[in-house]
Structure 1
Amino acid sequence: MQLLNGGGGDVIASQALRYVNESTWEALVERHRGKGCDALAALARALLDGKKSLHSMFGRLWAVLGRPRIEQLFAQELVSRVPLPFGHEIAVAARGLQAAGIFICSADGAAMQDCACLRDLLVNEGQAQFENLLQGALQNWSELPARMHDATAAPGLR
């Protein structure tokens, strides 16, 4: 977590302030002081899982309409590779929540193995994605999903 200790935490906070007002950020950090980031991790995961579910739902629509199996397969593959409206924005919000949660845990001096955002990211996406998130969190957050080769993105669009 030396990335956050060497001034990286300040950069992450300034990135967060590009999206929320200062009083909101300060209230979030204060509210979670000593409590960890479980709620942020749960919300981020719900957003990412919801994005995956949307792709899946559109593919299954063909089955409901009684289309032949090959049409269903074609539709599922096509929809899984086509970006859905607001998909990028959902991923930005989720990755921002994860970055903020990791910042909060680190700034709080918590044992990082107890950080729910960090744990969720490592379990669901691995060490490389964690490193990409931290590097990206020091830059423009709107680029986080692309930087991370977003795990919820369609396979052909990474």
Structure 2
Amino acid sequence: MAQAASYAGDRVWDRLTHDWSGRNCKGLARLARAALDGKDWLHDRVGDLVSYLLEVLSTPRVVRVFGREIAKRIPLPWDQQLVAVSRGMQIAGIAVCMLNGRDLAKCECFVDVVINEGKERVRQLMDWAAKDWRNLEQLVPAM
């Protein structure tokens, strides 16, 4: 967890690990999920905007639908950073729960990743975190 401490700073990491509770884990899990869901919401709004503009230009419906779907999938400038921060929060929550001997079935960060992305994603995240947190943005959830 040296990676987490180096990114958060020793003082913040020490405070996080010593003051950890189920309430803190739940808050961290919700914040990470909100950021990931917010990214998806923004992509949907970009698609809606493109569809609207194409409608104003009297474009055929099939072209509007196609344009909307393409626009939704174009990476936005902040996508990678947002995913990296969200994944970092999830990993930190899981790690601190483990450090405190908390049952992972009660770890909100762990449960959120398993429910929304599957057990395999948890293993991938923890493997990546053990290596290098700088590459977490590469684990972008499928749209």
Give the counterpart of 1:85 among 64, 74, 77.
77
Superposed, which structure 2 residues align to 1:26-105 within 5 Å? Answer: 26-33=14-21, 35=23, 37-65=25-53, 67=55, 68=59, 69-105=61-97
Counterpart of 2:77 in 1: which secondary structure?
coil
Counterpart of 1:110 in 2: which secondary structure?
coil
Match of 1:3 in 2: none
Kindly provide the CA deviation profile for residues 30-75 of structure 1, in whole angstroms up to 9, marking residues without a partner as x. Answer: 2214655111100000010011111111001134446142332122
Let me know the Cα RMSD of the aligned residues. Answer: 1.8
Give the counterpart of 1:18 among 6, 30, 51.
6
Identity among equivalent positions (%) equals 35
CA separation in 1, counterparts of 2:54 and 2:131? 47
- The aligned amino acid for 2:96 is I
- The aligned amino acid for 2:8 is V
- The aligned amino acid for 2:88 is G
Count of matched residue positions in the alignment of Structure 1 and Structure 2: 139
Instruction: Report the structure number with the largest CA radius of gyration.
Output: 2
Q: Which runs of 5+ in 1 are unaligned?
A: 1-12
- The aligned amino acid for 1:42 is R
Q: Does the alignment pair 1:137 with 2:129?
A: yes
Counterpart of 1:138 in 2: which secondary structure?
helix
Q: Which runs of 5+ in 2 are unaligned?
A: none
Q: Does the alignment pair 1:110 with 2:98?
A: no
Q: Contact 1:137–1:144 at 8 Å: present in 2 too?
A: yes
User: Greater helix percent: which structure?
Assistant: 2
Give the counterpart of 1:125 among 117, 126, 143.
117
CA separation in 2, counterparts of 1:71 and 1:83? 20
- Cα 1:82–1:74 shift into 2, 3 Å: same
